[in-house]
Amino acid sequence: MRYLHTMVRVSNMDASLEFYCRKLGMVETRRVDNPAGRFTLVFLAAGGDEAVARGAKAPLLELTYNWDPEDYGSGRNFGHLAFEVDDIYATCAHLAAEGVVINRPPRDGRMAFVRSPDNISIELLQKGVSLPKQEPWASMANTGVW
């Protein structure tokens, strides 16, 4: 068995690509427009996985945009996507500067949660061992749900 991709439905492809690509640093590896089915699929890879993803077409995040509007709810029942990052504090500082709410700050130097424009929970995990606790993160409260 080999992991291929995780699919999430998005309500606004432009807002989703802004979040996943520009803010999180993912890279679009391919796109499929299906006029007969009235949907667009965009496949994304984490920057560190791009070469493998382009060759093996995995591991990927598949954004599915259905051309006819639908209400997908809060997205909380999906669970979450998880990404390993080199520096949890720098990543969260970058996202906060980009206007992304840090719903669960990295108080422990290990884990944080944010949400996509479609309310998909995104877990950010520190690569390797946890970083030493650091302010302002160590004393920052949760915001909303994650």
Residues labelled as active-site residues = 123
Cβ contacts of residue 67 below 8 Å, gap of 6+? 38, 39, 40
- State the DSSP H helix or E strand holding residue 113, giving kind and residue range, or none if neither: strand 111-115
Amino acid at 108: D
Centroid of chain to Cα 10: 12
* Spatial CB neighbours of 13, under 8 Å, sequence gap ≥ 6: 40, 42, 63, 65
